[in-house]
Structure 1
Amino acid sequence: MTILVTGATGNTGRHVVAELLSKGEAVRALSRDPRRAAEILPAGAKLVAGTHTEPGSLGAALDGVTGLHITVTAGVAETGPELVRRAVAAGVERITILWGGYVGPAETAVAESGVAWTRLEPQEFMSNALTWRESIRTEAVVREPFDLPSAVVHEGDLGAVAALALTEEGHGGRAYNLNGPEALTTGDRVKLLAAALGREIAFEQIGGAAAVERLLREGVSRADAEYVVGWHADPPEAARIPDGTVGNLLGRPARTFGDWVTEHADRFRAGISPMSS
């Protein structure tokens, strides 16, 4: 089996690549910049130049591929259906798709493709905390609009579930809600991170309007900014309540936010000094 992974260098795609390689699968990693991908991805993946937002350019990348992992990113809602058609025509037999937060054109095309498919529906990633690095470094503060519980999921667990669905029977036609083993508020996560770094980190709630304006300054469209902030203002039950799907699928406990912090603490330590005793 040869599996093509789109978004291969992203926060989740790199984990899909690593998990597939650990299973001994032949992996093609799709990236706009294969040279950079070589620095990020584990050895063993065949690097392929391209992007899934331009399906017409992926003829060679799809040649001989029997499995496909799609990450829905900006632009894929429009190009996803064509990508799926080309993949099926090329002989792809299994598809996993990491949804964009709702069932849109790409997700629908996968479900109607006629091949075995699995939709991965994570709610909120632990890696979203990486957006706090600069404010922690410069001000020792995290600013977010709300302080509501979320069962954030480890992106590595998503990679493991994707690899499972692409290589084993029994996952076709399934949509999996993927969340973590504990519901933590933003403040809870900040405290865990502060303890790991050995310094005080303040948490400030800035409210929804300020959060929307911040995203607009970062170049996010108003519609997308209001959608994201609105989701955080009222997270669905699937995000708030751990459901055990990850552990049940993988046969081991889902990784905790504490696990994630231990793995990534050095990324927050760069340029900061520990709290004096």
Structure 2
Amino acid sequence: MYVVTGVTGRTGRVVADRLLERGEAVRVVLRDAGKAQAWRERGAEVAVADLADMSAMTAAFSGATGAYLVKPPGYDREDLFEHAQATTDAVAEAVRRAEVPKLVLLSSIGADRESGVGVIATNRLAEQRLSTLGIPVTFLRAAYFMENWARVIEPARADGVLPSLLSPTDRAIPMVATEDIGASAADIIGQSWEGIRIVDLDGPRAYSPDDIAEAFAKALGRSVSAVAIDEAQWAGVLARHPFSRTAIEGFITMNRALNNGHIAFADATTEHVRGRRTIDDVIGGLLVTQ
């Protein structure tokens, strides 16, 4: 029985679907009981629990042969980092009590850095806590999500402009499709390994904002140009989202670190996996659904 969290998000859904397609027994963890029936109809068991509820998560993990963990973002919270620590502590204790034999955690590029990574520090907190459990744990350090560019579909479509916090616009960074993250996690969770395993995951190649603009241009059939947003305007842009002040400051730090190279896949000895989906695949899919 594999326990999968985050199934209302992009990666957890893929993990659960892949495991069910393989004929594996799957239990999904949901906070909203109203979404349970759809998963039951797909053949999954359902546990209704909040990851911060240690008792409920202990029950959700009962009998598991492995679990896929996605940290809830919590970007609307001023106590973002404290809540991330408390949630991770609750999950870790639930894993210990339920005697889950192995875990795969969705982490992030940059989680190896001790400081200066903004919101990615919540992934580092999770890695550090889960490392103490004494069981096999894989940290799947994913690159920048290609699907993040869904936020700029409308200006690209309407005005031919792709606003970007990443700059310069010709500088490429690692990016990965969430479909490939889920597929890789589903593969890894069925494997055997010892101790802590770190897997860096990105796409077929790195992409720049200019590359993203070109992908939109091809998909939309119109010219699209990437435009770097001045850093002085970042806070205002981020405030359009339901983010707390703490999260906005964290995203500013994260984007600054992406732009100056502080956040990168730097360890050549780390296991590295490349997804197959290109930015053209992802942008084309986003335009179909939005």
Decide whether the 8 Å contact of 1:153 with 1:180 is kept in 2.
Answer: yes
Q: How far off is 1:231 after superposition?
A: 2.6
- The answer for the alignment partner of 1:267 in structure 2 is 289
Q: Which residue in the other structure is 1:245 paired with? A: 272
Contact 1:88 / 1:115 at 8 angstroms: preserved in 2?
no
For residues 1-277 of structure 1, the aligned pairs below 5 Å read: 2-36=1-35, 43-72=42-71, 73-74=73-74, 75-99=83-107, 101-102=110-111, 104-145=124-165, 146=167, 147=169, 148-170=171-193, 172-218=195-241, 219-221=243-245, 222-235=248-261, 236-238=263-265, 245-247=272-274, 254-268=276-290
Number of the residue aligned with 2:79: none
Q: 1:41 to 1:157 in 2, by over 3 A?
A: farther
Amino acid across the alignment from 2:230: G
CA contact (8 A) 2:156 2:216 kept: no
Match of 1:193, as an amino acid? F
Q: Which amino acid aligns with 1:58?
A: M
Whether the 8 Å CA contact 2:175–2:206 is kept in 1: the answer is yes
Runs of 4 or more, structure 1, over 4 Å off, are: 37-42
* 1:77-102 alpha-carbon deviations (Å, 9 max, x no partner): 32212211211211210111112552
- Of structures 1 and 2, the one scoring higher in RCO (CA 8 A, sep 6+) is 2
Distance 1:3 1:262 in 2: 32
- Partner-residue secondary structure (3-state), 1:238: coil
What SS does structure 2 have at the residue aligned with 1:128? helix
Q: In the TM superposition, what is the alpha-carbon distance from 1:174 to its structure 2 partner?
A: 0.8
For 2:184 and 2:68, the matched residues in 1 are separated by 11
TM-score with structure 1 setting the length: 0.83
How has the CA–CA distance of structure 1 residues 40 and 201 changed in structure 2, closer, same or farther, with 3 Å as cutoff? farther
Q: Secondary structure at the match of 2:144?
A: coil
Deviations 1:208-258 (A, max 9, x none): 22123211342342431322321332243428x9x99224xxxxx632212
Contact 1:11 1:127 in 2 (8 A): no
Deviation string 1:7-47 (CA, Å, 9 cap, x unpaired) is 11112111111222222221111122243465589822223
For the residues of structure 2 that align with 1:265 and 1:171, how far apart are their CA atoms? 42
Q: Helix, strand or coil: the match of 2:273? A: helix
Q: Partner of 2:78 in structure 1?
A: none
| Alignment size in residue pairs | 260
Change (3 A) 1:55 1:171: same
Structure 1 spans left out of the alignment, 5+ residues: 248-252, 269-277
The residue number in structure 2 matching 1:275 is: none
**Percent identical:** 27
C-alpha contact 1:13 1:71 (8 A) present in aligned 2: yes
